[in-house]
Structure 1
Amino acid sequence: MTLTFLASFCVTSLLVGHVTGVTSRDYAPCTGLAYIFNGYTFTFDAASGERVWSHCSFPSPFGDLIRCGRPRSDKKRFLCDPDHILDRVADVPLIDELLETIQKRTSVVCVNSAGIRETFRVAVALINRIYIPDMDSPDLCQNECGRLQPALNISRRIPTEEEQEEIMRLFADGIRSLWDIGSCGNDVIVLYCKEFHKVHVSSGSKASEYLTPEKVATLQTTFQTYISTHGTQGFVLGLENLLKSLKFTLKGITPAFILLMGNMAVLGVMTVVLFYYILGKRFETNIWEDDNCYWVWELFVKCSTGILWLEICVLVMAKISHSSRALFYVFLAAVLGLIFCTALHYVSRRIYYHE
């Protein structure tokens, strides 16, 4: 009885170790002709005729648009949907736009070998069915492609929640390694499996600094909530919310964020100063007993709020309006303003949006 208990405990511990975050290197390599990698991507379910996907040789949206369910002329290359889960025409552009926005609106984290600055990159893979290994098998092993063998006979039992999580992790990590969309661990893969109604977020080393295990767990749990609450349409809403959350999380502390916080601090100080100035003028005698102090405070408030510059502009416009060359000066000011705004827009995009 004692030996039986110890054996059961060891097997259970091994299984829990596999499904709670250990890397794929902890699985024994497969041996024998039955487990040789044959370049497979999917197999067909004999009963339903559906494709059952493996991450081995899974199509890439960067080089195999047709197999990813995308038009050949498509330029959006961060979504692979071979089973056409996004069946509504409006859903695909929405997800494409969110993925493109993440690349443009997150921090530059490294420079690749071609000298191009890279931000965080997120790609999405959507599948109906997933290959399920038998995690309880005493012969469990990992072949040269990274797929676990042997397959589970689902007519006998279904995989547990923990096994599903591990299967999704292996699949997502496999795709991330296969697609290789980042140069410094700045890549994130979002995998959705309709069979499990689950989503898994796999992140590279750099992205993991922002996407902590707790944050990833929150993202995945929130996605499940959308599925449970909104049914079929909840998938699109959940995916949209997840991608927006990823964009916010991966932004980090950018120059734009620092500038925004600095502006808010300045506005806060200016509000206090303005309030003090207005309140101080209510007294007949100021605390400094000097009437000129109000002129100093008034000048400071006008300069800091931009009112002084508006007054100067009005005075200059009034001055040149009486000049014989007024039309020329107005045209020159408009051209200079256009050039300045265009240059400011270009520089801001180069600095903050990394284009």
Structure 2
Amino acid sequence: MDRPWWTRLFYQTLFVLTCMLEKSLGSGRPNSMTAAPQWKMREYPNPQDSTSICNRPHRESWICDPNGILSKQEVLELDDMVENLRQSTDCRCDRCVSGHGEKHGYIVSLALLNKMESESYNNPSSPQNAEILNEAQMWTKYLRMQSWKMGACGNDAVLLLSVKDKVIYLSTGEELCEILSDKRTKQLLSTSLDLLADQDFFLALSNILKNYEELLKLGPEKSFNVISFGITHDEALNAGLMLFGPLCILDIVVLAFCVMIFCNIYVRGFKSHDVCYKVDYKERRLYEGFKIFCFQPLGVLMLLFIVAAINFAAVIGTLWLFRTQKTVCGVDSGAGVTWT
């Protein structure tokens, strides 16, 4: 039995509308309401594994955008830029090799989201900029070092953009932070603050990636300031050896001298001036310079006090150095900025 013409027309119209709706949802900017309005750090997906959640179905990516901050075409363009950066830069580490045995360069992966969920804010409804930056640092450090692990030897970085938190943060690995200091990273991000304030996130991220690639190709800065730019583990070790090595030698010499004085005066019963004459110096004038420390016990105490003061100043100076520079290259290295 044939259906009435109006019934056929109704179903045909419904079919056409369904196809149009499916096509519109399958292209352009994804529907952000399907994803979580805010994310917990340990639940944020990996673009190499959770491609569908990251709005990169059927394709491993360097970008995760579960809330649809960018359109699919914009994410595709940024993904190509990241891949080009990986292929065009030269990593200094021997382990910068892909699964096919091909040498590659530095890697930067992007984490885009509506808002970070945090329990560390004093006032969650209105957190301070410093709290937001600390949270972004924890996020990028966790993603780079524990969750994503894109790099083989610290040749990776994670760039986080949280729209409602109004923050962008870049965390750098050990290989990268030797080229891109924290100060340099902050300057790089600050160049796109106006675009971020205008919510032109695609252009802002594009500019950051382009400038980022140029900085990597330029190499490390010629002037390297320890206080401003952080220190590597090797530099910290070298500084410790240079500082405390001579101090240890000085301490041993002074201790041996004081033990000799003590033994001769209080154990063997010599007078203080006899002790000095027992010391066999090649040249007499060298002995004259130490006479005050031999003739007077107070001189020995003065020597001990001076050496103790030098050691104390060295320890305080080292603690101040690490307190002033809160980041260690490859561990907490990175920087971020907020906008209004």
Tell me the TM-score normalized by structure 2.
0.50
2:108 maps to: 122
Runs of 4+ in 1 over 4 A off after TM superposition: 113-116
- For the 8 Å contact 2:89–2:104, the answer to whether it is kept is no
Distance 1:218 1:212 in 2: 10
For residues 236 and 132 of structure 1, do their structure 2 counterparts lie closer, same or farther at Cα, with a shift above 3 Å needed?
Answer: same
Displacement after TM superposition at 1:135 (Å)? 4.1
- Select the residue among 78, 81, 105 that pairs with 2:88: 105
Q: How high is the sequence identity, in percent, across the aligned residues?
A: 25
Counterpart secondary structure, 2:160 = strand
Distance 2:219 2:118 in 1: 40
2:214 maps to: 248
Structure 2: unaligned runs, 5 residues or longer: 1-34, 221-340
1:171 maps to: 139
Distance 2:183 2:219 in 1: 20
Counterpart secondary structure, 2:180 = coil
Count of residues in correspondence between the two structures = 183
Superposition pairs of residues 138-177 of structure 1, within 5 angstroms:
153-154=124-125, 158-177=126-145
Distance 2:219 2:186 in 1: 22
1:25 maps to: none
2:63 maps to: 79
Give CA-to-partner distance per residue, 1:100-155, whole Å, 9 cap, x none.
1110111132233865534101110100011122344xxxxxxxxxxxxxxx542x
Distance 2:62 2:212 in 1: 14
1:60 maps to: 46
2:174 is the counterpart of 1:205: yes
2:193 is the counterpart of 1:224: yes
Distance 2:148 2:203 in 1: 26
Tell me the TM-score normalized by structure 1.
0.48
Structure 1: unaligned runs, 5 residues or longer: 1-48, 137-151, 255-355
- For the 8 Å contact 1:122–1:188, the answer to whether it is kept is yes
For residues 90 and 118 of structure 1, do their structure 2 counterparts lie closer, same or farther at Cα, with a shift above 3 Å needed?
Answer: closer
Distance 1:160 1:123 in 2: 26
Counterpart secondary structure, 2:192 = helix
Displacement after TM superposition at 1:253 (Å)? 5.2
Bigger Rg, which one: 2
Q: Greater relative contact order: 1 or 2 (C-alpha under 8 angstroms, separation 6 or more)?
A: 2
- Greater mean deviation of Cα atoms: 216-225 or 238-247: 216-225
2:102 is the counterpart of 1:133: no
Distance 1:245 1:52 in 2: 29
Superposition pairs of residues 1-355 of structure 1, within 5 angstroms:
50-72=36-58, 74-75=59-60, 77-87=61-71, 89-112=72-95, 116-136=102-122, 153-154=124-125, 158-177=126-145, 178-228=147-197, 231-232=198-199, 234-252=200-218
Displacement after TM superposition at 1:94 (Å)? 1.4
